[in-house]
Structure 1
Amino acid sequence: MSTERTLHGVNTSKASSDDAEVAVAAAWAGADVVRGLYGRRLARVDKGGGDFATTADVEAEKAILGALRAARPGDAVLGEEGGRRGAADAVRQWLVDPLCGTLNYAVGSMLVAVNVALRDGAAAVADPFGGEVFFTDGESAWVRHGGADTRLTPTAATRLVDVNLDPPFPSAPGFRAVDLLAHAGFVERFRPRVVSTTLALAWVAAGKRAAYVTDGGDLTGSVHFAAGIAVCRAAGCVVTGIDGAPIGRTGHGLVVAADAETHGSLMSIIRGCGRT
């Protein structure tokens, strides 16, 4: 049975009532801005600690907010750049990261993502330059490219594991992501990659990566990670913290693997990191 379906745009009666299509439309609105401003000299807003936003981050978030307001005017939005908007008692909230990989983008790298997720619901991760959007309705996961949707099928065949090396490292010294790169078991089984954007998280769902590992606290409500986590879960990936426990308020970091065998191997290596 074919896993492809074709949807012509998002302005149909079905799409108008579909949160997944709203997520896709909003993510692409942001991606259009990111793509259009690429290569220009952009103003920066310093956030401290070496972090910053650019005009592209701000304008992309405005475009996403416009799309969400048009389709779901009663919903609240939590954006990385603008904070919370909408009624404080709104039942539904969208999490928006308009440009994940700002440093990449600022130096001319196209490895970035636009993340839009309805908390505990639909989500979309757009690749502005690859022309793909990875999305879920909360049950199934798909990638849309050239107007056609193909179901996402995780696989560990590439053996590529993306490791987030960006600070902070709250689990140090017990665990530091960088320790994976020097672990004999990791080197024997996998090959590391450092993309420095959560686009790599969606790539696990798509079979372009075997796994993704990052340190951190509870990432389920993070504007950076919520969309990618939702897509990976719907695609059937194994999703836990770096301690192997379910992610959530008491979770630590994130390990997303294409299958249980890959996840088990990574957990064994992680448990061995930092110990002699």
Structure 2
Amino acid sequence: MTIINGESDARLAVDAAQAGAAVVRDLYGSRLERHEKSAGDFATEADLAAERAILDVLRAARPEDAVTGEESGRSGAADAHRRWLVDPLCGTLNYAVRTMLVGVNVALRQGSEVTAAATADPFGDEVFWTDGDTAWVRGHGADERLTPSAGSALVDVNLDPPFLHAPGFHPARLLADPGFGARFRPRVISSTLAVAWVAAGRRAAYVTDGDLRDSVHFAAGVALCRAAGCTVTGLHGEPVLTGADGLVAAADADTHAALLDLVKKQEAQTR
């Protein structure tokens, strides 16, 4: 655990995520201006304000660190060893239509490893966090160790494009596979808060396509799952966060293997 000026990186990640979550709560339900991005994507004033609050916390404590924010982009040296990855409001469309399924993600990448991370649930009053070695959930002033479990059989699947492996793999076809339905129950909350739920035993797994390198959306959740003892790879078993390989984060090796088999089966059917 890295400690600078008396404060650990993990504690800083928690503080920053909580600062962003406070803004998200405070602005919930108000009329928020939308800032269009691309391909139908947009940010609200809550996204922008939450990111400012997070960056204020990080820069006050670690002024030399580089940062990548979803809304403000990259700052600091391009090859910085320490880089914070910030997603101030994951689930913007949910939030914009007054659905309380969102997360606030803060992660620190040192070299090639994420060594501290936090995902805050603004409306559940919880923050899931890791120091890179162990994973916890903080609620009501106490920390509880995260314990993955596949018992729910609930698998969250990201249905938001782009689908980089289509037509070989498409998440909608995964849900339609009889083998998936025989073993799992699908869920789609449209927020990476669900990745933290895998680490916490509230989901059996999470599946997404996409390029996850330096992902502000997924870095925190992946770090939580790894530290909690989940099985985490790309769609084909590759090391995650290293390329355009997507993500299969599962509570245990058996669940993970079953999902990889379903992905492999789907791709074989398109050849």
| Other-structure match for 2:248 | 255
Give, in whole Å, the separation in 2 of the partners of 1:88 and 1:215.
26
Give, in whole Å, the separation in 2 of the partners of 1:220 and 1:234.
19
Instruction: State the 1:245 CA deviation.
Output: 1.7
Q: Does 1:84 align with 2:74?
A: yes
Give, in whole Å, the separation in 2 of the partners of 1:54 and 1:34.
10
Give, in whole Å, the separation in 2 of the partners of 1:248 and 1:137.
18
**When the two structures are superposed, what TM-score results if normalisation uses the length of structure 1?**
0.92
Selected match of 1:242 from 228, 235, 250: 235
CA 1:146 to 1:41, structure 2 compared with 1: closer, same or farther past 3 Å? same
> Could you tell me which amino acid in structure 2 is paired with residue 252 of structure 1?
D
> Could you tell me which amino acid in structure 1 is paired with residue 66 of structure 2?
A
| Other-structure match for 1:209 | 203
Instruction: State the 1:91 CA deviation.
Output: 2.9
Greater CA drift, 237-246 or 84-93: 84-93
| Other-structure match for 1:68 | 58
How many residues of Structure 1 are paired with residues of Structure 2 in the alignment? 263
Contact conserved, 2:164 with 2:244, CA < 8 A, in 1?
Answer: no
| Other-structure match for 1:5 | none
Q: How does 1:258-269 map to 2 (within 5 A)?
A: 258-269=251-262
CA 1:241 to 1:88, structure 2 compared with 1: closer, same or farther past 3 Å? closer
**When the two structures are superposed, what TM-score results if normalisation uses the length of structure 2?**
0.94
Instruction: State the 1:87 CA deviation.
Output: 4.5
> Could you tell me which amino acid in structure 1 is paired with residue 199 of structure 2?
A
Instruction: State the 1:126 CA deviation.
Output: 0.3
1:21-78 CA distance string (max 9 Å, x none)? 0000000000000000000010011002010000000000000000001111111111
| Other-structure match for 1:37 | 27
Greater CA drift, 249-258 or 189-198: 249-258
Once superposed, which parts of structure 1, at least 4 consecutive aligned residues long, lie more than 6 Å away?
none
Q: CA RMSD in A?
A: 1.6
Instruction: State the 1:14 CA deviation.
Output: 9.6
Q: How does 1:51-66 map to 2 (within 5 A)?
A: 51-66=41-56
Instruction: State the 1:249 CA deviation.
Output: 3.0
| SS of aligned partner of 2:37 | strand
| Other-structure match for 2:96 | 106
Give, in whole Å, the separation in 1 of the partners of 2:229 and 2:140.
24
1:241-261 CA distance string (max 9 Å, x none)? 111121243451000000000
Q: Does 1:227 align with 2:220?
A: yes
Give, in whole Å, the separation in 1 of the partners of 2:76 and 2:239.
30
Gaps of 5+ in 1: 1-12
Q: Does 1:189 align with 2:179?
A: no
| Other-structure match for 2:133 | 139
| SS of aligned partner of 1:121 | strand
Contact conserved, 1:156 with 1:209, CA < 8 A, in 2?
Answer: yes
Instruction: State the 1:16 CA deviation.
Output: 3.9
Give, in whole Å, the separation in 2 of the partners of 1:194 and 1:250.
24
Contact conserved, 1:105 with 1:112, CA < 8 A, in 2?
Answer: yes
Give, in whole Å, the separation in 2 of the partners of 1:205 and 1:247.
16
Gaps of 5+ in 2: none
| SS of aligned partner of 2:115 | coil
CA 1:83 to 1:14, structure 2 compared with 1: closer, same or farther past 3 Å? closer
Give, in whole Å, the separation in 1 of the partners of 2:213 and 2:145.
23
| SS of aligned partner of 1:181 | helix
CA 1:234 to 1:41, structure 2 compared with 1: closer, same or farther past 3 Å? same
Aligned-residue identity in percent? 66
